[in-house]
């Protein structure tokens, strides 16, 4: 299956997914990285991993529709079938949602529906929860609201500071996301063959 990853920042999940493809754990290829920020570290990873990367900055377009149409053109040129959001810090609009219905997934660093939105790890830490975790979900028009596909819990010990929680969450993300991408690919395959 032909995949695109969208990222705005570091891109460690992007790299984990490419690693899983190389290891044969994902039945697909990462065709392209889409970045909405020219200075995202994910771009350096893409270069090292030899994945084509495109920077499309929304402010350079007249509207969200025009921006997403430009993104769509890139996706179509690579025949992308599944979009993987990995630290893509913006809401997906109607243009992409209707072109890729049930084919856009996201990872969020909390056990949704708890702590949606920005700085979920900080929100959970400040709330003093003893268990937090990671959620992979289908994307809809809301903020971290689509149907949940997979979750994994992370224990917060009394001795953990926020950085320790973040490290634990990231380690879980890097194994849960590739595994879940493979499940979604298998599911899509079944849906297409029905």
- The active-site residue out of 22, 108, 174, 183 is 108
Q: Which is nearer to ligand GRF, 103 or 168 (CB)?
A: 168
Annotated binding residues, as ranges? 11-13, 64, 89-92, 106
Integer angstrom CA distances of residue 177 from 50, 62, 180: 21, 34, 5
CB nearer ligand GRF, residue 11 or residue 178: 11
Among 10, 102, 123, 175, binds ligand GRF (CB under 6 A): 10
- Indicate the annotated binding residues for (6R)-10-formyltetrahydrofolate: 64, 89-92, 106
Q: Is 108 one of the annotated active-site residues of the chain?
A: yes
Between residue 89 and residue 108, which ones bind ligand GRF under the rule CB under 6 A?
107-108
Contacting range for ligand GRF; rule: CB under 6 A; set: 12-20, 29-37, 53-61, 182-190: 12-20
User: For ligand GRF, which is the closer residue by CB, 69 or 179?
Assistant: 179
Name the closest residue to ligand GRF (Cβ): 87
Asked whether position 175 contacts ligand GRF by CB under 6 A, the answer is no
Q: Which two tokens stand for residue 125?
A: 């830490």
87 binds ligand GRF (CB under 6 A): yes
Q: Residue 30: what are its φ and ψ, rounded to 5°?
A: -85, 105
Task: Return the active site residues.
Answer: 108
The binding site for ligand GRF (CB under 6 A) comprises 7, 9-14, 86-87, 107-109, 173
């Amino acid at each position: 299956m032909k995949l695109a990853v969208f990222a705005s920042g570091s891109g460690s999940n992007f790299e984990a997914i490419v690693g899983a493809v190389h290891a044969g754990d994902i039945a697909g290829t990462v065709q392209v990285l889409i970045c909405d920020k020219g200075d995202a570290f994910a771009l350096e990873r893409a270069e090292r991993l030899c994945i084509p990367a495109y920077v499309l900055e929304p402010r350079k377009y007249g509207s969200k529709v025009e921006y997403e149409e430009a993104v769509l053109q890139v996706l179509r040129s690579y025949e992308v079938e599944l979009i993987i959001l990995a630290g893509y810090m913006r809401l997906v609009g109607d243009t992409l949602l209707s072109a890729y219905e049930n084919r856009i997934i996201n990872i969020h660093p909390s056990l949704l529906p708890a702590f949606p939105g920005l700085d979920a790890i900080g929100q959970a830490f400040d709330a003093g929860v003893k268990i937090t975790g990671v959620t992979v979900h289908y994307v809809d028009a809301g903020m971290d609201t689509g149907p949940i596909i997979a979750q994994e819990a992370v224990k917060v010990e009394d001795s953990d500071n926020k950085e320790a929680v973040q490290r634990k969450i990231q380690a879980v993300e890097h194994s849960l996301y590739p595994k879940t991408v493979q499940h979604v690919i298998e599911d899509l395959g079944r849906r297409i063959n029905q």
